[in-house]
A and B are shown apart, each in its own frame.
Chain A
């Protein structure tokens, strides 16, 4: 019916952010270009990219049919001579995994440096290790003297090694020597002892310590230890010799398989300590800052993956690691995106390549594209058929290479926000040209809204299930949007309680409206409209607001479709939205400001194509006068850049006043305090105090009276001081009164003294 009305309809599938994580893609061209930028050779070798010393010398190099601008620093200064072997290895390994072929201008100097390092007697153990690693990629020509010298050095350090790092370097060096120079004999006589001493550094939770002095254990060290132990196993494998007795051979094989079993157990224990995020990402992190400084989760996880890969390579049996955790680790490494530092890129790419060797991980990249009707290039089309969409799913491995033959099925569609799901089980068609799986038709009763589509990968070849990890069901959040129709929109002023309509205006939504209404505080305003989807179903938007804005700038916002406690619901249809504003109750909310209020309606939803924010007109409100204690409207925000305009109003926050006692209590105590005074007077009477000594003759008596009056005056001054005066006035008055009192008092008391002395002498 919607189509019959001639309203244009389009249903479009759009990719929204998935509810679990952002779209993460496997290794792609962005990684390659980042690798080229980060691993930029300087001083004849690969060092860390130092922007301060970069001299730009743009050079164009063609590789892999892409043209990339590269910046090289061409100061090959042999005077400096020092080649950073570790960084060189990282760069070379990254390029190798990513498949970047470059003409190595660096090869000669790196090879020279490798040869020098192996020959020199002052090289450290780490240098040997790094040099051999670089050589494993570059495959330089090496002097056999130097090789033999290296081998003996490595064997000596292995015998004298005590810390994990020493074991790792020496064993790693020997393993590399063995693969590169087959004529060199690197067999370990006492493989058992070495194996045990490395194992002694391990802990029960699967982690390793770096040395017996250091109590802190870490996942990073665990990865290193696993690599070293795997190296021991591979070095201990003897070259099959006819002189071997079958008994020795069997015992050897048994010992080896026991070692491998312990390693497998260690790996499983290590996996117990794995951390995870809610979206299924697994990673290894360190709890303590180790001796080698802070290890990031990326480097720790990469180290562990290297260790596991080394163990997997040393044994021909499968490791049986949980597929979910492999997928989680893959998610972690890919979730980093394109790292910004060279070392992080190396860790990421290296770990991904080793993960691929352990189990091939399939990565599903769902992307949805809108298909436009070729006849009408703009979006709006006439369509009698609503399934004009395509969903595209691409499946590939972690490093971007294509996946084996499989099919993707849409299993379920959940309505976002509710529990019910419809089971679809529809297979997507595979388009060989683009390499994508296409969902061509949507199920019939899908309407405007948000849905979660659940996809699953089915392998054609059941063998692949063992070697590939597909990550179960992938859920993708999908919004189906459409143009929502709004009709029966009207705004009404109702009078009185029962609501006889006083003023009714029809609205066109969305469209231009300019209504002019007036109301007083006894009336009500009602706004109502119906919303329906292209298929006629009722639609409830996320946002429907009505804003009333006073001319002074004060806003009031109301939610449409919200029935308050005082309001009546006059008519309720499933699809209609009603807002009833009762001005009587809202008078205080409006701060008693009468005048013109502009009305603005906002209706919107994520799935609604024609969300709108529109002014509707104005309403003149007549409100009663504000009482004394009404709250004032909030001060309007002031433009912070205006220099001479009004500043933002300051609202002071005062300290809460102290709690005062009840009045009655205070008055009681006032009375209580006066009681001792009366007790004093009573006591005086009881003691027989009298005024017999008061002077009788005129002059002394006046002085006596003045004396008492003076004291009374001073006390009165004091009460005045407490009530009203300040100290300076008081002191001035006190000065005068005091002098008067002194004079009078002196007179009186001297008179009294003389009388009493006369009495005594008489």
Chain B
């Protein structure tokens, strides 16, 4: 009895989350998709290392950190671009995007150097 109650609660929660998410703006969803893409790539790389061993450890780190780094930058972009966020009201979204591009380029320079 308690179990069915909890499962139905979970279902209800899930549905409410989905409907709430559907209401978000499109460009935020694009950024979310990008973040998911980056994280999944990182996970695949970790799985590969788990199978094969971490021999060129620097390469592994470089790959994983590039994915994680770009995900983090995308998160910060999302925060800055989100209109509901009162903190960044005065920041034009293009400026945030320019920062995002610049930081990504620097990150990828470092990554390419460390890749070996």
Interface residues, chain A, CB within 8 Å of chain B? 658-661, 665-666, 669, 672-673, 675-677, 679-680, 683-684, 687-689, 711, 714-715, 718-719, 721-722, 727, 730, 734, 738, 745-746, 749-750, 752-753, 756
Contacts and interface: CB of A to CB of B under 8 A. Distances in A.
Contacts of B51: 661, 665
Contacts of B109: 718, 721, 730, 734
B115 interface: yes
27 contacts: A660-B55, A661-B51, A661-B52, A661-B53, A666-B52, A669-B44, A673-B44, A676-B41, A677-B37, A679-B37, A679-B40, A680-B34, A680-B36, A684-B33, A687-B29, A687-B33, A711-B105, A714-B105, A718-B109, A722-B112, A734-B109, A745-B98, A749-B98, A750-B94, A753-B92, A753-B94, A756-B94
A721 B30 contact: no
B72 to A, nearest CB: 17
B11 interface: no
A727 B113 contact: yes
A750 B30 CA distance: 22
A680 B37 contact: yes
Given A721-B109, A756-B94, 7 more contacts: A673-B45, A676-B41, A683-B37, A684-B30, A718-B108, A722-B112, A753-B95
B6 interface: no
A675 B47 CA distance: 14
Contact of A687 (B26, B45, B53): B26
Contacts of B105: 711, 714, 738
A689 B40 contact: no
B115 A722 contact: yes
A724 to B, nearest CB: 12
B52 A749 contact: no
Contacts of A722: 112, 115
B98 A676 contact: no
Contact of B108 (A661, A679, A715, A746): A715
Contacts of A669: 44, 48
B59 to A, nearest CB: 11
Contacts of A752: 94
Interface of B: 26, 29-30, 33-34, 36-37, 40-41, 44-45, 48, 51-53, 55, 92, 94-95, 97-98, 101, 105, 108-109, 112-113, 115
Contact of B97 (A687, A718, A749): A749
Contacts of B98: 745-746, 749
B46 to A, nearest CB: 11
Given A669-B48, A684-B33, A718-B109, A711 B26 contact: no
A683 B33 contact: yes
Contacts of A673: 41, 44-45
A684 B29 CA distance: 9
A688 B113 CA distance: 36
A745 B108 contact: no
Contacts of B113: 721, 727
Nearest to B63: A673
A749 B94 contact: yes
Contacts of A719: 112
Contacts of A672: 44, 48
Q: Would you list the 7 A-B pairs with minimal beta carbon distance, nearest first?
A: A680-B37, A661-B52, A749-B94, A676-B40, A683-B33, A753-B94, A718-B112
B102 to A, nearest CB: 8
A727 B113 CA distance: 7
B108 to A, nearest CB: 6
A689 B26 CA distance: 8
Nearest to A738: B105
B33 to A, nearest CB: 4
Nearest to A742: B102
Contacts of A679: 37, 40
A687 B21 CA distance: 13
Contacts of B33: 680, 683-684, 687
Nearest to B52: A661
B101 A711 contact: yes
Contacts of B92: 753
B52 A688 contact: no
Contacts of B41: 673, 676-677
Contacts of A727: 113
A721 B112 contact: yes
